Amino acid sequence: MPKPANPKKAFEISAPDGDLTEQWWDWALHMQTNDGNNAFEDQTGDFASLGAVHPNMFFVAGAMGSTYENQSEIVLTRGFDVRVGTDILIPVFNIVESLQDYAYYAEDPDATPDDVVSFLENYRENWVTSVFCIIDEGTANERVIIDIDRTDPTHVNIGEEFYVQSDFFSLGEQKIGKGAEKTYSSFQPGELGYDTASLRPQDAVHDPAMSGGWWVLLENLSLGPHTIRFGGTLNFDDDPEADFTLDITDTINVVSSWSSPPPWAHASEHALVG
């Protein structure tokens, strides 16, 4: 059952546990592409309700791509409803890599899990140049949660504590249906993990995998509309211009009840949390 709303409980902001971010990746990468009609390629928020994975948890979609492909900028504005009392997981700026995917693109059949760890360290320490997450920007209730700018040595960075690195896990792991056992599968054409994130090779179970990045967990967001702006920049070379920019603004309308049954209400949906 959904947990009841508690108007006396304080609004809370925290970094999630690594296992919750693992569940987010399983949900995201196994999502059907559906000719662009999915939560990640969504331009408006019409498909955001796919993130209602559990009575007490809503996974916000970011934007998906591959560090091995040429993408320069993604700017999105979306709007959607979330039931009051539901925890909201924000994927501010993050990455995932598996041993099989790393070996495929590096053309290194002798790659080891240590290479995956080094890949994530390189992402955090060398590629990421900025990260931001702001709630209700431009209002009296504005909260700057993350503000990191590594291009300016005088900038006072805040929010490094929201960096979460998972343990090793299986990207092929899925729990299908209520009470179902976990099954293992590779990524196939028609799934975001294959079509958009370009995880390869096709027939591999991506295990071990590891993710790292900045995440924000919101609890007890008050009724009414709220804006959440999040994203960051990457730079892979010595050129001062960013090679990749992500800037997403979501207007989340916190409502007292769902206007239509969310995905978790259907037994056939993935039961990823709880």
Q: CB of 251 within 8 A of CB of 156?
A: no
Strands 128-135, 87-98: pairing is: unpaired
Q: What is the pLDDT of residues 171-196, one digit of tens each?
A: 875 554 455 555 556 788 999 999 98
Interstrand relation of 163-165 and 128-135 (parallel, antiparallel or unpaired):
unpaired
**Of residues 216, 160, 157, the one with CA closest to residue 15:** 216
Angle at 48 between CA 62 and CA 255, to 5 degrees: 120
The pLDDT of residue 221 = 95
Which of 121-130, 194-203, 253-262, 265-274 is predicted with the least confidence, judged by mean pLDDT? Answer: 265-274
Cβ contact 253:80 at 8 Å: yes
With contact defined as beta carbons under 8 Å apart, do 178 and 61 qualify?
no
How does pLDDT run across 66-87, given as a tens digit for each residue? 665 556 889 999 999 999 999 9
| DSSP code, position 124 | I
Distance CA 96, CA 209 (A): 7
Strand partners, 176: 270
The position carrying tokens 């041993």 is 99
Cβ–Cβ < 8 Å for 14, 217: yes
* pTM (global) more than 0.85: yes
Q: Where are the domains of the chain?
A: 12-265
As a whole number of angstroms, the distance between CA 159 and CA 63 comes to 21
